[in-house]
Amino acid sequence: MEIVILLIFGVVGIVHLFGLWQKAMAIKSYRFEVSENRPSISIIVCAHNENDNLKALLPLLQNQQYESHEIIIVLDRCADGSEEIVKKFQNKNLAIITIDEVVSNFHPKKRGITQAIEKAKGEWILLTDADCRPTNQWISEMAKGMHPKTDVVIGLSPYTKFGGILNLLIQYETFQTALQFVSSASAGKPYMALGRNLAYRKSKFIEQNGFGVHSQVMGGDDDLFVQSILTKDNFRIVLAPESWVESIPKTSGSAYFRQKTRHFSVGKHYPDWVKSKESIRWAIHIVFWILFFFSFAINPFIGVSILATVLWIKGISFNIVAKRLGKRFNPIWLPFVDLLYVVILPLLSLRSLLVKNSTWK
């Protein structure tokens, strides 16, 4: 029986690495033809009591090295002086939409985005959040993916690095998320994007009747919407570091748990093939660590040897992805954070099924 467990542990490790290696190679080989188009672009930011973040974000948006763009700020029931802050930056390229009440069967953020898109003059809608920090080349880099036959441009949004275990988990979880959705898209099977750095055609939004049946769902203004319009060839992924929109991470466990509960609650609306794929991935990852502890109890040397080999190859795979994305991956904390990731994230997923969260902030 002991030998069987050790053999199964080794096989599960190989299967886990095989899936990871496929993803790494898909991202490494991804290329897209740079567009020379300079379309008109409307930047949309929805904010709910984001006074300090708007002070930091608005100068960055107005300093973009792109001539044909406008900025639309949606202030959703703000009671912290956000409107006064935005008005200080207001000019002919910046418009404000103020929302004072909640409408039934229409999530506040989605309602705000919808009103902004209706008002937008740009051919393309480019979305980000108030707690994000784009480079001054952000629009120009995202525009390189806006081909005549493209409807969606997907960008990356890493979190700012701080100290502490929570930030370590956030960095790793964000890296894993990018690995999953970018590799799937690179392989011609796109299924999600991040609303912190996402562009799509205004005409496509109107054609799809906006957020449609998901208008009342909390979250999903990015992934659920793009799932309704994505095909295997109507999108581009922009990976250049200048196109990234860095986001300020949560600094308390309770805030992080609320955020992830909101994110995971959207997953039940995903297509069945995506839910099946993610369930299998999680099952393999969890079983791998469970088998490690059994194997360690049977034969510590063999158990640690298999674990070390898998994590070593995993670190190599992550470095391939990190280099492709212009980042640096530090493998020192990999054993600890990988175990933490495989314990915490499923628990948060379960929490999303049990806890009703009705706010987007």
In this prediction, residues 196-207 reach a mean pLDDT of: 96
pLDDT of residue 352: 76
Q: In what order do the strands lie in the sheet with 69-76?
A: 94-99, 69-76, 41-47, 124-129, 198-201, 152-154, 235-237
- pLDDT tens-place string over residues 162-183: 889 999 999 999 999 999 999 9
- CA dist 17 → 11, 20, 67, 257, 324 (Å): 10, 5, 46, 29, 19
Q: Show the domains of the chain with their CATH numbers.
A: 2-28+272-349 (no CATH), 32-252 (3.90.550.10)
> 121 pLDDT band (50/70/90 cuts)?
very high
- pLDDT tens-place string over residues 274-327: 989 999 999 999 999 999 999 999 999 999 999 999 999 999 999 999 988 888
C-alpha gyration radius of the chain: 21
pLDDT of residue 222: 87
pLDDT of residue 237: 95
- pLDDT tens-place string over residues 222-245: 888 999 999 988 999 999 999 999
% of the chain beyond a pLDDT of 90:
66
| Contacts of 253-259 spanning 24+ positions with Cβ under 8 A | 253/166, 256/166, 256/170, 257/348, 257/351, 258/357
| Contacts of 316-320 spanning 24+ positions with Cβ under 8 A | 317/17, 317/20, 317/21, 317/23, 317/24, 318/24, 318/175, 318/179, 320/24, 320/25, 320/27, 320/28
> 360 pLDDT band (50/70/90 cuts)?
low
The amino acid present at 94, given as its one-letter code, is L
pLDDT of residue 334: 93
pLDDT of residue 356: 63
Ordered DSSP codes for 294-346: HHHHH-HHHHHHHHHHHHHHHHHHHHHHHHHTT----GGGHHHHHHHHHHHHH
Regarding beta strands 152-154 and 124-129, do their DSSP bridges make them parallel or antiparallel, or are they unpaired? Answer: unpaired
Fill in the DSSP letter of residue 66. Answer: -
The strand ranges marked E within 16-117 are: 41-47, 69-76, 94-99
> 357 pLDDT band (50/70/90 cuts)?
low
pLDDT of residue 215: 86
pLDDT of residue 361: 61
In this prediction, residues 123-149 reach a mean pLDDT of: 96
pLDDT at residue 358 greater than cutoff 70: no
The C-alpha angle 171, 289, 180, rounded to 5 degrees, equals 40
Q: Write out the two tokens for 75.
A: 């202030």
Of residues 105 and 117, the one with the higher pLDDT is: 117
In terms of DSSP H, where are the helices of 106-220? 108-119, 138-143, 165-186, 202-207
pLDDT of residue 342: 92
- pLDDT tens-place string over residues 344-356: 988 888 877 777 6
Any idea which of 55-69, 126-140, 210-224 has the lowest mean pLDDT?
Answer: 210-224
- pLDDT tens-place string over residues 8-67: 999 999 999 999 999 999 999 998 889 988 999 999 999 999 999 999 999 999 999 998
Instruction: State the CB neighbour count (10 A cutoff) for residue 336.
Output: 13
Average pLDDT, the chain: 91
